[in-house]
Every structure is written in structure tokens, then in C-alpha cells.
Amino acid sequence: MLIALVVFAAVAAVALATLRPFSGGTSATASTAVPRPTAAGAGGPAQTATSATPTPTPTPTPTPTPTAPAGPPPVTVTAGGDVMGGFGVSAVVGSMGSGLFRSVAPYFKAGDFGFVNLESPLTYGGDPQGWKDVIIKGNPALAPAMAKSGINVVTMANNHAGDMGDSGLLDSFRYCKKAGITVVGAGTNLKAAQASAVLKTRDGAKTAFLGFSDVLPMGYPATSGSPGTSPGRADINAVKANIRAAAKKSDYVFVGWHWNLEYKRAPSYLESSEGKAAIDAGADIVFAHHPHLLDGVQAYHGGLIFYSLGNLVFGGYAGETAQTVLVQAKVTRRAIDAKLIPVKISGSGVPTVATGSTGLSILQRVKSLSAALGTTVKISGGRGYVHVKR
């Protein structure tokens, strides 16, 4: 009995030793350990150890795609051919005033600018150049008549600007300025004659106008110290330099050019090369005159060259010399859309919009002449249309 008790006591002691934790440790039979606080660092707060959770990668904000600049506002220019205020037209201007332009004025007024070739000096005095075969002295009343009809820019780079001497030319500048008309292609000296006039539309489009002449009677071109006209072919490098300068400080550039021979229709290589040089230098459209006949239009490198707009206000003409078009051109950086309005001129020089068979005949002529230059003119509703992508 005593032996049995001793054995039982020994077995119980072994069992207690097995269940008691080791000093400072955990149970040897525990399958998992309960997490316990660990120090974040000396003096730091306790942190509970947890399994690491991945930090989500932030989604990058997309960079906005830059939008192309809208470009300058469009500009609309209505251009016509030769306008003079002498001979029989002087009396017509005196009696009709702006009524002289009544039929065509709505087209000039509809655009931002009305642009023509002023083919005569405007003066009550002047110094007639008697050595010249044809001398024109224009009625100064023509200036306000043009202005009231929507014509606000003229080129005087032509072979009649100096017909009444320097004083007559300077009078012309004064009368035009008083009427609110800008003169280009002639000036008080060569620099002024060659320079562009940069005008703003109501919408803020900066528009430059220049004028040049290949027809240069003796003494008519401006010099560094005397008034006169701006040479064209005679100083083609200056022409290109002035057009480039105008293009740098404006949104659009329009050039008036007096060239070719009277009553000669098709442009020669000279006119073609000059017009293309102007476009390449930065001009959007070249409007030419002097032949007294209507010619075709050529699309070139995103621009247009109208080789002759003939007469607009000029007395004493009949037949094809008394037929022309107005060009109403809307120009943007992406395209040029030109509308051609047929016009007939009375013997006294009064222009009237041509309709019916006469109007169609004028447009068909321009279409044929332009086709020979590789340019399409479409006719619809009594008007011609030319479209150029840029």
C-alpha cells in the first residue's frame, strides 16, 4: 500500500511539471502564439503587429490634350477694278455723289473692307503733266462718294497718280484721309509708298494692304525725298520684303498691282511670276488692274491671283471693256471663298450689277479664262464661286 502511494505521487509530480509554463516562455505545446505589443522605438507608443496591407498605386491624372489655337477671325474684302473721277465722270460724281455706286455699294458695305484702284488724282488745282498722252484730273467729291459706298481702302500705285504733279497727288491724300479712306501704293516718299497699311476689323483681325505698279511714267515713282508711287517689277526684291514685313505684323495681306499692257488679256510670264512671288512672300490675294479688260483668276499655294479686274467706274467704254466683276472674298487661315458678282458699266461710267444673259456671259468668260489657268470657277444663281483650301 505504501509503495502504491509513492508511485502515484511520482506520476502526479511529472504531470504537473509538464503542464507548468517554462520560466519567461510560452507553453511548449501551444500551436500558435498570441501577438503582443512591440515597441515602435525608444520611448515610442506601442504598435500592434498586423499583416502588411499593400498600398494602392494612385491613378495618374491624364494630361489634357492641348487644343490648336482658333486662329484670327475671318476677314471679308470686296474688291473692284479701276475707279476714276475725271473726264465725264467728274460731272457724274458732282451730280450723283455716292449715288454713282448705288447698285454696287451693298456689296462693298457687306464686307470689312472695300478695295479699289483709284486711277486719278483728286484735286481742284494741281500741275498737269502736259508731256503725257493721257492726263486725268479727278473730282475730289469722289472721295466721300466712295467712302459712303463702303470703299475704305484704295491703291494709287498706277500710271495716272501723278497726272497733276506732286501737288495733285498730295491733295489726293488729304481728300481721301478726310473721307476716312486709306491710301496705299503711293506716299510722301518711297518708304511711305512701299509700306503696308495695317487695319483692324471689328472682330480684331489685323489686315494689311499694299500697292505696286509696273507702269511707271517718268517722274511718277516716289523717291526718298519726293512723293510718288511704289514700283513693282522695277524693284521686285523690295516688293517681296515689304509683303513679308506686312505678313509678320498682320493676320491677312492683300495686294493691289498695276501691271500688264492695256487691252491685253492673258497674263504673261512676268505677271504670273510677280503674282506668285507675292503669294509666296505672304500675300493672301493679289488684285490686279490696268488692261481695262476682265481676266481670269488663278489659285496658287493657298492664295488667289486676279490678273485683271478691268474697269469699275470709267467713262467712255463699251462691250467687254465695260464689263467686270466685284470680288467678295472671305478669308480664313483654312480657306478662301470668293464670290464673283458680274457688273456692267454705262457709257458715263456708272456701274450696275449685271443680271440675266449679260451677267451669265461675264461669269462664263471668267470661268473660261480661269480654267486656262488651272482654276475652277463654279456658277450658280447668277454668281461665280472660287474655293481654295489652305
CATH of the domain at 246: 3.60.21.10
Q: Give the pLDDT score at 55.
A: 61
Q: What percent of the chain has pLDDT over 90?
A: 81
Question: Does residue 36 sit within a domain?
Answer: no
Question: Does residue 308 sit within a domain?
Answer: yes
Radius of gyration of the chain from its Cα atoms, rounded to whole angstroms: 42
User: Is residue 183 pLDDT above 80, yes or no?
Assistant: yes
Q: Where are the alpha helices (DSSP H) in the chain?
A: 2-19, 88-96, 105-110, 142-148, 165-179, 190-194, 236-248, 269-281, 356-371
Q: What percent of the chain has pLDDT over 70?
A: 82
Longest dimension (CA), the chain: 169
Strands (E), the chain: 38-39, 46-47, 75-83, 113-118, 153-155, 182-184, 186-187, 197-200, 206-213, 228-229, 252-258, 285-289, 297-300, 303-306, 311-313, 323-331, 335-345, 351-353, 378-380, 383-389
User: Is residue 7 pLDDT above 60, yes or no?
Assistant: no
Question: Does residue 267 sit within a domain?
Answer: yes
Cβ atoms 377, 384 nearer than 8 A: yes
Please state whether 136 falls in left (phi above 0), alpha (psi between -120 and 50) or beta. beta
Question: Does residue 270 sit within a domain?
Answer: yes
Report pLDDT digits (tens) over 367-390: 999 999 999 999 999 999 999 999
Q: State mean pLDDT over 139-155.
A: 98
Q: List the domain range (segments joined by +) for residue 191.
A: 75-389
Question: Does residue 68 sit within a domain?
Answer: no
Report pLDDT digits (tens) over 243-253: 999 999 999 99
What total of structural domains would you count in the chain?
1
Question: Does residue 63 sit within a domain?
Answer: no
Question: Does residue 38 sit within a domain?
Answer: no
pLDDT category of residue 61 using cuts at 50, 70 and 90: low
Answer whether 0.85 is exceeded by the pTM: no
Q: Give the pLDDT score at 210.
A: 99
Question: Does residue 39 sit within a domain?
Answer: no
User: CA dist 379 to 76, 140, 339, Å?
Assistant: 20, 38, 10
Residue 290 has, within 13 A of its CA and on its CB side, a CA count of 26
Minimum mean pLDDT range among 37-46, 129-138, 222-231, 265-274: 37-46
Q: Give the pLDDT score at 70.
A: 74
Cβ atoms 291, 265 nearer than 8 A: yes
Minimum mean pLDDT range among 38-52, 95-109, 323-337, 375-389: 38-52
